Amino acid sequence: MTGEPRENSRENSRENTSQTSLDISKVTKVEIDDPETGRKRVFAGWRYGLVGAIALAASCFHLYTAAFGLFDAMTQRSVHFMFMGTLLFLCYPMKMKAGGSKNEIDLWDWALVVLTVVCCGNILLNFEAIAMREGRATASDIYLGVIMVILVIEATRRSMGWPLPIVAMTALLYGFLGPYFPGMLGHRGFGIKDLAPFMYLRTDGIFGVPLGVSASFIFLFCLFGAFLTISGAGQFFIDLAVALTGRSLGGAGKAAVVASGLMGMVSGSSTGNAVTTGAFTIPLMKQAGYKPVFAGAIVACASTGGQVMPPVMGAAAFIMAQFLGISYWEIVVAAAIPATLYFISIMAMVHFRAGKRRMKRLEASELPKASPILKKGWHLLLPIGVLVLFLAFGYSPTLSVFWSIVAIIVFSWLGDKEHRMTPKMILNALVTGGLGAIEVAAACACSGIVIGVIAITGVGLAFSSFVLSLSFGMLPLALFMTMIGSIILGMGVPTTAQYIITSTLAAPALAQMGVPMKSAHLFCLYFGVLADVTPPVALATYAAAGIARSNPIKTGFTALVTAAAGFVVPYMFVYNPYLLLEGDLLSITVGTITAFIGILGLSSAVQGYLAGDLGILQRLLLFTVPFFIIYPTLTSNILGVGIIAAIWAVQKKFKKI
């Protein structure tokens, strides 16, 4: 691209970056393509009113149950999927016709909506009779069970493509063909009469824990994100990030990291975060002198980290709390240091990249000031504070997010007139939030099919034995196998579904090797999240590349390298539980500091810069630093810290000469 500084020419970089001035006023949000645009209908007229009314009703239902208490599990989940399934079949066509109208709803879509209502309505109306039969299925249970499985698979295919449905159908085939599998993977096999009602009428199948979490927590947090966005929080986070980091070395890139981190805390979607913040921060980075490939990679990596960044994190964190039987706040506390280390590593990548390219620091006159921004938008931080306080004092996530939404409405009136939550804006947020939750609901329901097969066949125990056998009982090898499996599965399915499957299969095997269950589950989650920046299927990277107008494959591999620390941090907290805030204060402090130094060493080695340009030997030595610090012994920690300190001191000395 003409006018961009060349990465491999230092002199050219100095010349161009010295002339670059980051004019915030000239950067506006760019027009981008929504990753879902090719599939989702665009409504107008009465169809828009109908879809909006259903989304509004869904939001009101979930707010009501959040305030006054959830219904029993099957009732809550069936009503939830009735709304979400209806909206999905109305909003997503079976196949978008080239040149066709996106406003039309086909006859078969209406038929699928009716079937969804019938299947969910049957549970609502006949739940007591179903419970009285104690699992004995009638012919109607079997027929409706088959229809429900087909509906869930088709709904997921429409909204997310084929990967997750293929996994679900493979799981069903495994349930049918169990006798034909060898060794520990074999089982007696189950017919349609067994599988269909098991998936449909039990909380081990479609209406299991994943859909339960979607019905209880995830929907409300999608609503919370919609209210925050409409209240102006997104722009506030971006402006504040630019003001706080703009003057430091590589300020525009650091602003992108901070903005994506702040948005990620409340959105929990890597692709959505990349699209939202990247539309502003990528043009800022390009104007400051970063190449489009690197700008897109930074936004993708930072946006992906939002799924593991407290206090909201991604949808999988709520499911983790249910699986482990602990409070969501415990997950938030445990995830705090690892997530911080990940974002520090991305910041370090930006810092060292800017240093290597001799990018100049921006002057205060070129940047907005933090105090006016905070003065104007300080009230937007209060709802997040309300959320954290409610969670910290032991309230359920459901009630916590309900009062946080109320806080957004109340505190919005402390700001400017443009973002005060009027009845019209509240209505808009309710509709937007309702529509924003349908894809996650489909993924959770489809994941329930896989969980159901694992439960009825008992393959989970067999898989744990398989991992133990294949790794020869060696934890490093078992961790590596789990990492590869999580990344491969994460490339094809959403993070939530990936976590559900891998944690069900692999986490018990790691636990048998002495890894605490919390660490094992977080390990699976991290590598599923990193699949969003791992080619060839790196959704967050491709979304950011579309905004940056860069080559998606090059951006993907750049993001993979930039997120290198993310591949090390999970190993650190498995071997060093202090990073999960488990242990005494001294051990936690020492463990965190040494992990921080290890992350800096890795980031420096990747970018080839510390206090100055690094030679080949220096880079190789720095690459070893995080590996010395993974296992927390005094000798290895001293050696790792000593390497980075010695190289830094040598470079400082030569700079003075």
Dump pLDDT digits (tens) for 280-325.
Answer: 778 878 877 788 999 889 988 988 888 888 877 777 788 888 888 8
Model pLDDT, residue 492? 57
pLDDT at 29 exceeding the cut of 80? no
| 313-325 pLDDT tens trace | 777 788 888 888 8
Backbone angles phi, psi at 609, to 5 degrees: -155, 135
pLDDT at 207 exceeding the cut of 90? yes
| pLDDT (average), residues 365-393 | 84
Cα–Cα distance between 211 and 78 in angstroms, integer? 9
Cα–Cα nearest to 263, from 302, 318, 320: 302
Q: Which two tokens stand for residue 384?
A: 């997040």
Model pLDDT, residue 236? 85
pLDDT at 143 exceeding the cut of 80? yes
Backbone angles phi, psi at 37, to 5 degrees: -60, -35
Cα–Cα nearest to 277, from 269, 346, 560: 269
Amino acid present at 409? I
Burial of 53-72, coded b for 16+ CB within 10 Å and e otherwise, reads: ebbbebbebbbebbeeebbe
DSSP 166-223: HHHHHHHHHHHSGGGS-GGG------HHHHHHHHHHSTTTTTSHHHHHIIIIIHHHHH
pLDDT at 656 exceeding the cut of 70? no
| 441-477 pLDDT tens trace | 998 899 899 989 988 988 876 777 777 778 887 888 9
Cα–Cα distance between 554 and 651 in angstroms, integer? 31
pLDDT band at 1 (very low <50, low <70, confident <90, very high): very low
pLDDT at 537 exceeding the cut of 80? no
Cα–Cα distance between 25 and 28 in angstroms, integer? 8
Check if the beta carbon of residue 337 is closer than 8 Å to that of residue 592: yes
Check if the beta carbon of residue 313 is closer than 8 Å to that of residue 291: no
Check if the beta carbon of residue 522 is closer than 8 Å to that of residue 334: yes
Q: Which two tokens stand for residue 160?
A: 């997310």
Model pLDDT, residue 215? 92
Model pLDDT, residue 391? 83
Cα–Cα distance between 253 and 247 in angstroms, integer? 11
User: Which residues, other chains included, contact 582 with Cβ-Cβ below 8 Å and sequence gap of 6+?
Assistant: 334, 516, 588
- Better-scored residue on pLDDT, 2 or 308: 308
pLDDT at 8 exceeding the cut of 50? no
User: Which residues, other chains included, contact 501 with Cβ-Cβ below 8 Å and sequence gap of 6+?
Assistant: 167, 447, 450, 451, 489, 493
Q: Which two tokens stand for residue 147?
A: 């229809």
Burial of 584 (0-12, 13-18, 19+ CB in 10 A): exposed
Backbone angles phi, psi at 95, to 5 degrees: -160, 125
Question: Under DSSP, is residue 613 helix (H, G, I), strand (E, B) or coil?
Answer: strand
pLDDT band at 426 (very low <50, low <70, confident <90, very high): very high
| pLDDT (average), residues 631-649 | 86
Cα–Cα distance between 266 and 407 in angstroms, integer? 15
pLDDT at 78 exceeding the cut of 80? yes
Cα–Cα distance between 642 and 622 in angstroms, integer? 10
Q: Which two tokens stand for residue 248?
A: 């430091």
pLDDT at 99 exceeding the cut of 50? no
Model pLDDT, residue 20? 36
Cα–Cα distance between 158 and 165 in angstroms, integer? 10
DSSP 244-281: HHTTSTTHHHHHHHHHHHHHHHHH--HHHHHHHHHHHH
User: Residue 609 pairs with which residues in a beta bridge?
Assistant: 613
pLDDT at 42 exceeding the cut of 90? no
pLDDT at 147 exceeding the cut of 80? yes
Cα–Cα distance between 175 and 192 in angstroms, integer? 10
User: Which residues, other chains included, contact 45 with Cβ-Cβ below 8 Å and sequence gap of 6+?
Assistant: 103
Q: What's the residue count for the chain?
A: 657
Cα–Cα distance between 655 and 613 in angstroms, integer? 11
| pLDDT (average), residues 117-137 | 85
Cα–Cα distance between 310 and 261 in angstroms, integer? 10
| pLDDT (average), residues 143-166 | 92
User: Which residues, other chains included, contact 532 with Cβ-Cβ below 8 Å and sequence gap of 6+?
Assistant: 270, 271, 300, 304, 490, 495, 538, 539, 540, 541
pLDDT at 195 exceeding the cut of 50? yes
pLDDT at 238 exceeding the cut of 90? no
Amino acid present at 524? C
pLDDT at 26 exceeding the cut of 80? no
How many CB atoms within 10 Å of residue 620?
A: 11
User: Which residue is associated with the tokens 């990679």?
Assistant: 297
Q: Which two tokens stand for residue 9?
A: 């020419």
Cα–Cα distance between 646 and 652 in angstroms, integer? 10
pLDDT at 572 exceeding the cut of 70? yes
Cα–Cα nearest to 404, from 416, 417, 392: 392
Check if the beta carbon of residue 415 is closer than 8 Å to that of residue 232: yes
User: Residue 601 pairs with which residues in a beta bridge?
Assistant: none
